[in-house]
Amino acid sequence: MRYCVNPACPSPENSDSNEQCLSCGANLLLNRRYCAVKVLGQGGFGATFAARNVALPGEPICAIKQLRVASNNANAIERARLLFEREATTLGKIGNHPQVPTLLDYFELDGQFYLVQEYVKGLTLKQEVKRSGCFDEFQVRAVLDEILELLKYFQSQTVIHRDIKPANIIRRSLDNRLVTIDFGAVKDEVSHTAILDPDDPTPNTSFAIGTPGFAPPEQMAMHPVYASDIYALGATCLYLLTGKSPRRLGYDPLTGSICWRDRVQVSDNLVYVLDKMLQPVLAQRYQAAEEVLADLHYQPTPEDAIEVAPPQPQPAVEPDVEPLEETTQPPQPTQEATNFTSTEPLDATNLTDTRLHRSPRTSFRSRLRDRTTASSWNRSQSNRRAQGEKLTAEELKTNYFKGRRDFANRNLSGADLQRFNLEGVNFNESKLVKTNLRGANLHKADLSQAGMNHAILRDADLSDAFMSYCNLAGADLRGADLTNAYLTYANITGANLCGANLANAKVTQEQLASAKTNWRTILPDGKRGLFS
């Protein structure tokens, strides 16, 4: 079968023997060698066809992208021609990479522009999700590893893809490697040329390029940079994990960040990496693929907790303090942060999340430092309560249910909090001496520098808890879940760990030797038994 590429053709399908379309009379042989046989995709910019090159032996299959100009204006067509030739040159340069389709030809015919590229057989990542379901963390990390290496190559060639998304990444059937297709600069610049200012002689981008939900704010504001592709790749990962377009996940009205953390279960490391890839403020996002890869594969060591910044002194109590449950909100983002049109770094005082100031090679020590700083900021900006002020169990419960998670530097000693759900709570530097937390959910809680000596934590969920420098001397941790807990420099002298699960916990042999264990204790290496 031969396919007519005339956009206005009412019946484009023709038999192999036809040289001209029976419906519209258009020539079915493009540039005297390419015969379209199937539509691969189409949209407002034009269409993509699978085609045979009849001028070569065996008539090999190739992909032809037809780019349409939405105007007959001579200036618009000439402008499109300049953009088209520039982008064809770019595609020709980067097509030497094995994960980019090779540019085979390009030409203009009857006012339309055509790019001929290597045909890549396989499923897109979007098709994989539709067919097999959402990806797990291992699969997402594999995608990041491959595409980040590709982004490194693009940056070395001074190229921005501008349309990274699941539908534009194909897993090639031949070798299972990921291949990027459909560079946004080509299709969008040519298709929108008619709306550009005809008096502007330079063919620069002056309109939004990219797919909403995947393109970052600065790109939609017509200022794409290398980091724009990093944001789009992060958004692609959200789709792979959730099966939903990032736009459907919603946005934080204060920061503009995508709300996604409650939709997926992934490691803290991947949460941090994706968060920084998806920062809406350009200055706070990763600027290069190498930085993302460094954080993605970073393995913390016990020494990482050495350089912990000392806690800052708290301000004096204000006479007109507000109650804890009526905490004021952080300041609204500045105009610069709201419009996302500038690439200049923002004043750190205008940012509401101190995690944005981490160095490229993030570690647990910066995580502790940042959490401590963030807690201090929240305390000073919200209610400026006195250091170590007493808090009752009912006050804690009421405020937690209202969405409050920051209870740093509070005194809850002796409180009855058994079986409370306190997931993700921040008890940094708080006093929890002899506090009853039996069966409580403290998953991913921040207990760093907290005083928890003789606390009752029997059967508590402390998985992924951050407990560096926590004082757990004499604490009852029988049957507690401490998987992946970070206990470096924590004091567990005399703590009862009988029956506790310490699989993959960050804790030294010297620390364990000072605690009580028995044959039911699961040690960090996953084995059961007494520590000796």
CA distance 232 to 224: 11
Average pLDDT of the segment spanning 283-303: 85
Q: Is the pLDDT of residue 303 over 70?
A: no
**Domain for residue 387, yes or no?**
no
Partnered with residue 65 across adjacent β-strands are: 48, 115
Q: What is the pLDDT of residue 47?
A: 85
Least confident stretch, 177-181, 339-343, 478-482: 339-343
Q: Which of 118, 141, 170 is the last residue of a domain?
A: 118
Q: What residue spans of 192-324 are helical by DSSP H?
A: 217-220, 226-242, 246-249, 268-277, 289-296
Query: Which of helix, strand or coil describes residue 365?
Result: helix
What's the CATH number where 98 sits? 3.30.200.20
Q: Mean of the pLDDT values across residues 134-155? A: 94
Q: Is there a contact between 75 and 196 (Cβ–Cβ < 8 Å)?
A: no
CATH number at residue 278: 1.10.510.10
Pair (20, 142) in one structural domain: no
| Strand blocks (E) in 68-145 | 103-109, 112-118, 122-124
Q: C-alpha distances in angstroms, 383 versus 243, 316, 320, 370, 411?
A: 40, 11, 9, 20, 16
Task: For residues 20 and 131, state if they share a domain.
Answer: no
* DSSP codes joined into one string, 397-420: HHHHHTT--B-TTEE-TT-B-TT-
Last residue of a domain, one of 297, 320, 338: 297
Judge if 268 and 152 occupy the same domain: yes
332-336, 354-358, 412-416: which has the highest mean pLDDT?
412-416
Q: What digits encode the pLDDT tens for the residues 34-51?
A: 999 999 887 656 788 999
Residue 531 confidence (pLDDT): 62
Q: Looking at this protein, which amino acid is placed at residue 62? A: C
Select which of 16, 145, 163, 262 is catalytic: 163
Query: Rounded distance, CA 118 to CA 444, Å?
Result: 48
The per-residue pLDDT for range 60-71, each reduced to its tens digit, is 999 998 887 766
Contact 35, 28 (CB under 8 A): yes
- The yes-or-no answer on residue 481 being catalytic is no
pLDDT of residue 458: 95
- In which domain, by residue range, is 131 found? 122-297
Mean pLDDT of 75-82: 78
Q: Assess whether 144 and 84 both reside in one domain.
A: no
Number of domains the chain is built from: 2
**Would you give the DSSP letter of residue 243?**
S
